[in-house]
């Protein structure tokens, strides 16, 4: 397989039901980057995914491609109300974010945010399962 074909395979749409991204929400992105770099050897790079709306840093756990992102918790990003504490949020791939959010609610879950679009990236929702654990669902933009 050529290097180009290999790189394209790495960025293929994730399979529905699989973890596809991890986000770190922090109150100090500099301290967070230093911590994860030193503890796990992760590398960070500034991302243009937000079109400059806020600072977003992609991280790689190896292999050169991003495994997730890091951002600072602010009212502009999180909306009105109390800000959440620092946390990790795992994204799970689904075929249809809207249909999946409706199904989650029918099964006793709660949609905390969305479904909504991430410009130039895809669509997501943040859902809480019936026991209170939160996760995000995601569909890549076609």
Render pLDDT for 83-99 as a digit per residue (tens, 0 to 9).
889 999 999 999 999 99
Tell whether the model's pLDDT for residue 2 goes beyond 70. no
Q: Each residue of 22-75: pLDDT tens digit?
A: 999 999 999 999 999 999 999 999 988 777 778 899 999 988 789 999 999 988
Kindly indicate whether the domain formed by 94-142 is annotated with CATH number 3.10.180.10.
yes
DSSP letter for each residue of the chain: --HHHHHHHHTSPPPTTSEEEEEEEES-HHHHHHHHHHHH--EEEE--TTTTSS-EEEEESSSSS--EEEEE--HHHH-SSSPPPSEEEEEEE-S-HHHHHHHHHHTT-EEEEEEEEETTTEEEEEEE-TTS-EEEEEEE--
Q: Where in the chain is the domain with CATH 3.10.180.10?
A: 21-87, 94-142
Instruction: Report the chain's mean pLDDT, rounded to a whole number.
Output: 88
Select from 2.60.120.620, 3.30.530.20, 3.10.180.10, 3.40.50.970 the CATH code of 21-87: 3.10.180.10
For position 78, what pLDDT does the model report? 79
Tell whether the model's pLDDT for residue 8 goes beyond 50. no
């Amino acid at each position: 397989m050529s290097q180009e074909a290999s790189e394209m395979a790495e960025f293929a749409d994730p399979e529905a039901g699989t973890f596809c991204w991890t986000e770190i929400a922090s109150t100090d992105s500099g301290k967070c980057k230093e911590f994860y770099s030193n503890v796990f050897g992760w590398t960070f790079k500034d991302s243009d995914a937000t079109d400059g709306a806020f600072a977003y840093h992609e991280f790689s756990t190896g292999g050169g491609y991003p495994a997730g992102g890091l951002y600072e918790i602010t009212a502009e990003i999180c909306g009105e109300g109390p800000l959440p504490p620092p946390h990790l949020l795992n994204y799970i791939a689904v075929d249809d974010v809207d249909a999946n959010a409706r199904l989650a609610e029918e099964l006793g879950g709660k949609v905390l945010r969305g479904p909504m679009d991430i410009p130039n990236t895809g669509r997501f929702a943040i859902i809480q399962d019936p026991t209170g654990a939160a996760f995000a669902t995601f569909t890549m933009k076609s």
